[in-house]
Structure 1
Amino acid sequence: MQKYLYVILLVAITQTIGAQRGGESTYDFLNLTNSARVAALGGSNVSITDNDINMAYHNPALLQKEMDEAMVLNYVPYMTNINYGYVGFAKHFENVGTFSFGIHNINYGDFQRTNEIGEDMGIATAAEYSFNFTYARQLSPTLSMGLTAKPIYSKLDVYSSFGIAADFGVHYRKAEKNFSMGIVLKNVGSQISSYDNIQEDMPSDLQIGFTKKLAHAPFRFSLTIQNLLDWDLTYTPYDAENASNSGFSNESDDSGFGDKALRHMVFGVEFMPSKTFHVDFGYNYRRRQELGYEERMSTAGLSWGFGFRVYKFLFSYGSARYHLGGASNHFSISTNLSNFK
């Protein structure tokens, strides 16, 4: 089994030759963060090891036998009446591995449909779904691997599309050093049927993450490096003069090495004074540079949240500040059905 998982991961990486930025690929909802905890940590994390089933969504290798019969429900009332969420369940089988199934969906709301002369043609709706089938196996005391198959269905008014994507992940953990590392190749796949006979790229991404917990203090630090299939994430606005006058960041291709490197990095820190309570903070440099307002950057790119356990349930909340105009609010509730037996 170990040999086959290595081969699958190697083939997937060699077949992935590029990545897409936002707006340059289809099914971009796959990159939305639904976990309140991960949202609070900056929006991306592939290396944290504990019993949170949400982490398996970001790296399938983080699905562990300790998550047997765990389930989670996430809900995000996003911006402009957009709502999305995730529901998932895990089951472990001895000498086989751990499986999970989840549904990630986004609803874009209702739209007024009109013809070319403005006549009312009724209501249009739009929604997308990803059905996540995950398998993970512990290969050694320190190494685990996993993969997620994701059939995708998208319905945008009268247009529809079906596709298939996969995530391949590896996780390394050194428990005695309080250190863990994750690598995941996300959203490798293709459209099976397109919206209007136009084939579009998938939002593929390669991420590497590191997590370190202090030995004698209740703090855990994480660094996630994302978008590694595309080094230069800067861009030039279509109308540079108007963009400059508006006060928003006017990016250009002559950004320095440090700026380009930081756009790949997401920083997170957790304060864990007890097993039943934690507080999370995150910083997303790229989000701040792209969405921040130069005259008043405020808290753009920053995120925070907390989690607490009540009875047999874990409740989490996360807030990520995108720009002056709004922030996202994330709600998660998880439990383990075995606790009720």
Structure 2
Amino acid sequence: MKKKLILLFLLLSGLCASAQESTSAYNVLRLPVSAHVAALGGESNSVPDDDAALAQHNPALLADVTPRQFGLTVASLPDGALWAGAQYVHGFGLRHTASFFAQRISYGTMFETDEYGADLGQFTPSNVIVGAGYGYALSPRWAGGANLKTVYSRLGTMSAAALVADVGLNYYNKEEGWSWSAVLRNAGAEIKHFDRRTETVPYSLQMGFSKQLAHTPLRFNVTLIDLTRWSKAYYMPTADAELSAGHLFTNHLVVGVDWMPSQQVTLSAGYNFRRGYELTAAGRGHGAGFSFGAGVRFSRLRLDLAWARYHLASSSLMGSVSYRL
């Protein structure tokens, strides 16, 4: 079983490496789903935490999530956009775990005009994601998993849809505090087009690891993203712009740290290098790339809150609540 999952992971990685996108109508898939992940820089696929939403960043993490857990997440985005999601995790025996999830983002009311500027009314663009995941404990330390998602996008009278999948592996050594992951996110294709125009999906091949330092309340997280995209042209707006090797590498790097002063409280901070570069280049250097958050756990209830900046206009707040039934 372990060999089959690894072979499937490598096959999908190779298929996706042959096609790249610079923009996509489905960039909603890039947004963090967990407030804890949002606080760690927006990308983390290895943090060993009992959080139902983490499985949407790496389905292999389902193996460490307590079954019968229900979660809700809400985020405020720039220009009045609102993101909301829900997920439920259910266990089947000792090795099998499944999740069911849905998300919706509404971009607020917009005005529609024709090519002459005449007012044609108002509309509300939106994206909807519905999916299911499966995690399997391959051994006491190894786990694998997969998610299957349908993404629906509406823009006025036009609509589009895509079918995407995530495949992930995770190794977790609880005694040593090590967690290592490899995941292919959002591999798929469009199945319904906007006005005969084909859109790509923002797939990402990622690796990450987390390490809790012995005898300390600190846990460090390092995530490498978009490992099939090393062309300088992908990250720079003009072909003649210079980009150093170090700058190119850190475009793939997201780092974060958790401080856990007790078993009930977690304080988190992260830095997303690419987001910092892009916002600084666009004229917003203050706080660019940084994110912060906090989490509180009770016997059955968990609350998380995160702050981050994704846009020049304003910052974003994301809150998550999960309850074990």
How far, CA to CA, are the matches of 2:135 and 2:84 in structure 1? Answer: 23
Q: How does 1:222-237 map to 2 (within 5 A)?
A: 222-232=221-231, 235-237=235-237
Q: Which amino acid aligns with 2:243?
A: S
Distance 1:90 1:283, change over 3 A: same
Q: Which residue of structure 2 aligns with residue 265 of structure 1?
A: 253
| Superposed counterparts of 1:3-42, under 5 Å | 3-18=3-18, 20=20, 24-42=23-41
Identify which of 226, 229, 242 aligns with 1:254: 242
Partner SS state of residue 87, structure 2: strand
Dislocated runs of 4+, deviation >6 Å: none
Give the structure 2 partner of residue 158 of structure 1.
157
Aligned to 1:245: none
Aligned to 1:165, the other structure's residue is in SS state strand
Residues 275-314 of structure 1 deviation map (CA, whole Å, 9 limit, x = unaligned): 1111000011111111116887221111111011356321
Q: What stretches of structure 2 of length at least 5 have no aligned partner?
A: none
- The residue type paired with residue 17 of structure 2 is I
TM alignment of 1:167-316, pairs within 5 A: 167-232=166-231, 235-237=235-237, 253-292=241-280, 297-310=285-298, 312-316=300-304
Quick one: distance in 1 between partners of 2:235 and 2:321? 38
1:110 equivalenced with 2:109 (yes/no): yes
Whether the aligned pair in 2 keeps the contact of 1:19 and 1:230 (CA below 8 Å) is: no
Is the CA contact 2:304–2:321 (under 8 Å) kept in the aligned structure 1? yes
Using the alignment, how far apart are the partners of 2:65 and 2:183 within structure 1? 21
Between 321-330 and 256-265, the greater mean CA deviation after superposition: 321-330
Gaps in structure 1 of 5+ consecutive residues: 239-250
SS at match of 2:285: coil
1:309-324 correspondence to structure 2 within 5 Å: 309-310=297-298, 312-322=300-310
Which residue number corresponds to residue 241 of structure 1?
Answer: none
Distance 1:252 1:288, change over 3 A: farther
- Residue equivalent to 2:49: 50
Amino acid at match of 1:10: L
Q: Is residue 9–residue 168 contact of structure 1 (8 Å, CA) maintained in 2?
A: yes
1:330 maps onto 2:295 in alignment: no
Q: Which moved more, 1:53-62 or 1:90-99?
A: 90-99
Shifted more, 124-133 versus 289-298: the winner is 289-298
TM-score (norm 2): 0.93
Which sits farther off after the overlay, 171-180 or 217-226?
A: 171-180
- What secondary structure is seen at the aligned counterpart in 2 of 1:44? coil
Identity of aligned residues (%): 35
Deviation at 1:335, TM superposition (A): 1.2
> In structure 2, do the counterparts of structure 1 residues 20 and 80 end up closer, same or farther at CA, with 3 Å as the change threshold?
farther
After superposition, the C-alpha distances for 1:35-87 in whole angstroms (9 at most, x for unaligned) are 21111100100001121112111000000264200111110110001111210
Equivalent residue for 2:136?
137
- Tell me how far 1:201 sits from its aligned partner: 1.7
| AA aligned opposite 1:198 | R
Structure 1 or 2, whichever has the larger Rg, is 1
SS in 2 for 1:117: coil
Return the alpha-carbon distance in structure 2 between the equivalents of residues 84 and 171 of structure 1: 28
Deviation at 1:236, TM superposition (A): 4.0
Q: 1:120 to 1:301 in 2, by over 3 A?
A: same
**Would you say how many aligned residue pairs link Structure 1 and Structure 2?**
324
- What CA distance in whole angstroms lies between the structure 1 residues aligned with 2:63 and 2:32? 21
Distance in 1 between the 2:283 and 2:152 partners? 41
What SS class does the counterpart of residue 140 from structure 2 fall into? Answer: coil
Q: Which TM-score applies when normalising by structure 1? A: 0.89
Residue pair 2:78, 2:313 contacting (<8 A) in 1 also: no
Q: Distance in 2 between matches of 1:223 and 1:13?
A: 20
d(CA) in 2 for partners of 1:182, 1:278: 22
